């Protein structure tokens, strides 16, 4: 079992709780502290967090520096770097799970960020409690409760959590949102984080059901070839829009078009729902969608 720890109160609470459970369940916990090397003194912060994990009962703790890229912005790039480390360590130790310390408040913030971007149900379902090897045992627990547990475990040991200055840096979207959450709770009620987290769970059920329906429809209706996919226009018209757009996205991904904007999907959808002989739709990386002979064809010119 791999336990991610940054040295913050959430992850120290996770480390202490996981150590307690591991001892009683005879699991072997492996602590992982990642040094993102984005701030002065980050190596010392990581070393301190590793020592704190050992004080909490995790005998083996790895401190791993990473190079954070720029793809998708700083927050996404740092997340990708962490995931790569978790995958590598989990594989090396044949771990059954990687535990992360996200709380109900983190989930609520993720839902609000999705709303601000105009995202759909899958994005608004936010973080999954279980995703592959990743486990988030605190995801339905308020941050205040997790922090109470941190104090109960860490204060007697003289352990003080690290306060990441990035959490207060307005350059980061999530930091700005976190700073404004208290005001939102004053306007909309103290139950806001819990309500948003509940919304994510409901939307996850909906998104899972629609994805399953779309996968079955794709298997039944879509013909896949090496550089193109196609389906009967009449068959696609019979599908609900929410299912149909998922099928279209799968057809595009088959020919190498992985990133589609909302307008791209809507343009393809209009080829089906409001077909009146319109011309082709040009998509990223040289992909084209067009109706010919009562079928929708999506093909690539090879630029992907």
The residues, any chain, with a CB within 8 Å of residue 80's CB and separated by 6 or more, are: 69, 71, 72
Residue 212 within any structural domain of the chain: no
- Characterize the bridge pairing of strands 98-99 and 134-135: parallel
Given a cut of 80, whether residue 72 has pLDDT beyond it is no
Given a cut of 80, whether residue 195 has pLDDT beyond it is yes
Q: What is the CATH number of the domain that holds 289?
A: 3.30.465.60
The residues, any chain, with a CB within 8 Å of residue 303's CB and separated by 6 or more, are: 285, 286
What was the pLDDT predicted at 303?
60
The count of domains in the chain is 2
Q: Nearest Cα to 204, choosing from 117, 269, 140?
A: 140
* Domain range for 288: 222-300
Domain boundary among 168, 188, 208: 188
DSSP 212-276: HHHHHHHHHH-EE-SSEEEEEHHHHHTS-HHHHHHHHHHHHHHTT-----HHHHHHHHHHHHT-S
Q: Nearest Cα to 104, choosing from 194, 17, 185, 18?
A: 194
Distance CA 17, CA 66 (A): 26
Domain boundary among 137, 166, 188: 188
Given a cut of 60, whether residue 304 has pLDDT beyond it is no
Q: Nearest Cα to 98, choosing from 132, 147, 49?
A: 132
Q: Nearest Cα to 299, choosing from 262, 268, 266?
A: 268
What was the pLDDT predicted at 301?
86
Given a cut of 80, whether residue 45 has pLDDT beyond it is yes
Q: How confident is the model at residue 29 (pLDDT cuts 50, 70, 90)?
A: very high
Average pLDDT over the chain reads: 93
Q: Check whether residue 229 and residue 281 sit in a common domain.
A: yes
For residue 146, give the DSSP letter.
Answer: H
Q: Check whether residue 38 and residue 142 sit in a common domain.
A: yes
What was the pLDDT predicted at 57?
96
Average confidence (pLDDT) over 146-159: 97
Domain boundary among 131, 164, 188: 188
Average confidence (pLDDT) over 239-262: 95
Q: Residue 128 is encoded by which pair of tokens?
A: 């999954």
Q: Nearest Cα to 62, choosing from 133, 5, 135?
A: 5
What was the pLDDT predicted at 179?
83
């Amino acid at each position: 079992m791999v336990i991610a720890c940054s040295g913050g109160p959430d992850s120290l609470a996770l480390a202490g709780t996981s150590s307690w459970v591991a001892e009683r369940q005879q699991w072997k916990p492996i602590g992982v502290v990642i040094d993102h090397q984005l701030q002065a003194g980050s190596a010392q912060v990581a070393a301190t967090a590793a020592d704190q994990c050992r004080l909490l009962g995790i005998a083996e703790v790895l401190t791993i520096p990473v190079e954070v890229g720029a793809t998708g912005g700083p927050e996404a790039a740092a997340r990708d770097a962490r995931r790569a480390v978790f995958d590598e360590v989990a594989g090396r130790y044949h771990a059954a799970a990687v535990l992360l310390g996200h709380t109900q408040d983190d989930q609520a913030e993720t839902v609000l960020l999705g709303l601000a971007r105009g995202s759909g149900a899958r994005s608004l379902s936010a973080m999954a409690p279980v995703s592959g090897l990743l486990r988030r045992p605190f995801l339905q627990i308020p941050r205040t409760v997790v922090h109470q547990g941190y104090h109960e475990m860490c204060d007697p040991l003289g352990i003080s959590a690290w306060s990441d200055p990035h959490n207060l840096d307005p350059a980061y979207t999530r930091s700005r949102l976190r700073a404004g959450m208290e005001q939102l709770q004053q306007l909309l009620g103290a139950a806001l984080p819990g309500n948003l987290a509940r919304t994510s769970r409901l939307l996850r059920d909906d998104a899972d059901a629609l994805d399953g329906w779309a996968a079955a429809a794709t298997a039944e209706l879509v013909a896949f070839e090496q550089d193109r996919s196609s389906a009967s226009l009449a068959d696609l018209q019979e599908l609900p829009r929410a299912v149909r757009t998922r099928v279209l996205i799968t057809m595009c991904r088959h020919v190498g078009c992985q990133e589609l904007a909302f307008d791209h999907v809507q343009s393809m959808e209009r080829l089906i729902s409001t077909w009146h002989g319109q011309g082709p739709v040009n998509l990223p990386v040289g992909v084209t969608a067009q109706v010919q002979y009562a079928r929708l064809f999506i093909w690539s010119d090879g630029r992907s």
